[in-house]
Structure 1
Amino acid sequence: MVIKESLLKLLTEQSINKITVTDICREANINRNTFYSHYANQFELLAMIENDLYEEIKQVGISSSNPQKLSYELCKYIKANKTICEVLFSEHGDKELLERILYISHDLTIERWKQELKYYDPQLFESWYTFAAHGSIAIIKKWVSSGLKESPGKVAAFIDKATEAVSKAFYAEEL
C-alpha cells in the first residue's frame, strides 16, 4: 500500500514518464528489491492501481442497471475516493482511464436506446454514445480538477440532463 501511495503522491507533481523506481522507493522508504518483488516497473504499478480503480467502479456500474443512476453512483464513488481520482484523472494520469470507465455503461445504454426508439442504427447509436460519453468525461474532469466542490448529485444531474437533451433531439427526428 505504501508503494502505491508513494506513486500517487509523486504523480501529483509529475508524469509517470518522469518518475523512476528510485523515486518511488525513496518516497516509500523501501529498497528497490522490495519494489521489484511486487512490480516490474513504475508503469506496471500505475497500471495495477488504475485497473483496481476500474474494477471497483465496474462493480458499481454492474450493480446499477439504470444509466442515470450510474452517473450518480460514479460521481459518488469519485467524491468518496477523491485523492486517487484527482491523481488518476489529472494531466499526469492515464488519459484513457476515465473513457474506459464511462464505457462500462455502453451496452446498457445502447440497449435502452434500442427499446425506446422505433429504429436501430448502430452507427448513429455509437456516435451518439461517444458524444455523450466524451461530454461526460469533460464535465467529470472539470469537476475533479476544481476540487469536487459540487455534490455528486448535482454533477450527475447535469450529465443526465445534457444527455437527455441530446436524446430528445434524436427522438424528435424519429417522429
Structure 2
Amino acid sequence: MAYEKADRRVKYTKMIIKNSLLELMKERPISKVTVTDICKKADINRNTFYSHYGNQFELLSNIEGELYEEIRQVAERTLNLETYEKLSYEICKYIKANSNICGVLFSENGDKELLKRIIYISHELNIEKWKKEEKYIDQKLFDNWYTFTAYGTIAVIEKWVNSGMKESPSKIAAFINKATEAVSKDFY
C-alpha cells in the first residue's frame, strides 16, 4: 500500500514537471528554458527535479520519446488491421486528441525532427507491405517517393497543428491520402 502511494506521487510529480515544461515551451524554445524555470512553474525544488531528470533537455527527450512510442504503437496496430489510408487518419486523430503536447512539440519552439521521425514510422512498416503488393519495386525510386510524400505530410500536419487544428482529423487525413495517391499514380 505504501509503495503504491509513493508510486502515484512519483507519477504525479513527473506529470507536473512535464506539464510545466510544455507550458514554458509555449512561450520559448527549450534552449531558453532552465531547470529553475521548470521548478518554479511546477512549484517543486531542484532536488525533486533532479531525482527524476538530469536536465531540461533530458526531460524534453523523455516527453518526445513517450509521444513517439505511443504513435508508433498506433501505427503498428493500424497497419496490422487496416490500410495505409487508415494510418493517416489514426495519426491525425492521435495528434488532435493529444493537442496539448503535440501543439507544443510541433510548434516553432519544438524539435523539428520529431514530426519527421513520427512520419517515418510508417516507412519501414510499409516497405514490406508494398513490396508484397508489387511484383517489382525500385528501392531508390521508392525511397525518393516516400521522402517526397513524407515531407508533404509533415508540412500539412505542421500547418494544421500550428493553425489550431480547426479541421477534423478525417479531413486532414483525406487530403494527405488524396495527395499521396496522386503522386503514387505516376510512381507505380
Alignment TM class, shorter chain as reference: over 0.9
For residues 29 and 100 of structure 1, the distance between their equivalents in structure 2, rounded to whole angstroms, comes to: 33
- C-alpha contact 1:8 1:84 (8 A) present in aligned 2: yes
Task: Write the distance in 2 (CA, Å) between the matches of 1:108 and 1:156.
Answer: 18
Say which SS state the counterpart of residue 99 (structure 1) adopts: helix
**Identical residues among aligned pairs (%):** 68
Structure 1 position 12 matched with structure 2 position 29: no
Give the deviation of 1:113 after TM superposition: 3.3
Alignment of 1:88-127 (within 5 A): 88-127=105-144
Q: Which runs of 4+ in 1 moved over 4 A?
A: none
Residue 75 of structure 1 aligns with an amino acid whose one-letter code is: C
| Paired position in structure 2 for 1:49 | 63
Computed over aligned residues only, the root mean square deviation of the Cα atoms, in angstroms, reads 1.0
- Whether 2:57 is the aligned partner of 1:40: answer no
Query: CA separation in 1, counterparts of 2:135 and 2:74?
Result: 30
CA distance in 1, matches of 2:103, 2:95: 9
Unaligned runs of 5+ in 1: none
> Which residue of structure 2 lines up, in the alignment, with residue 62 of structure 1?
76
Contact 1:67/1:108 (8 A) holds in 2: no
Shift in Å, 1:67? 1.7
Deviation at 1:170, TM superposition (A): 1.4
The residue type equivalent to 1:24 in the other structure is I
Q: Structure 1: how far apart are the matches of 2:139 and 2:128?
A: 11
TM-score by length of 2: 0.88
Structure 2: runs of 5+ lacking an equivalent? 1-14
- Corresponding position: 1:136 with 2:150: no
User: In structure 1, which of residues 77, 80, 83 is the aligned counterpart of residue 100 of structure 2?
Assistant: 83
- Which amino acid is 1:52 matched to? E
Q: How many residues align?
A: 171
Structure 1 CA distance, aligned partners of 2:125 and 2:18?
33
Instruction: Give the TM-score of the pair, scaled to structure 1.
Output: 0.94
Please report how far the alpha carbon of residue 104 of structure 1 lies from its aligned counterpart in structure 2 after TM superposition: 1.0
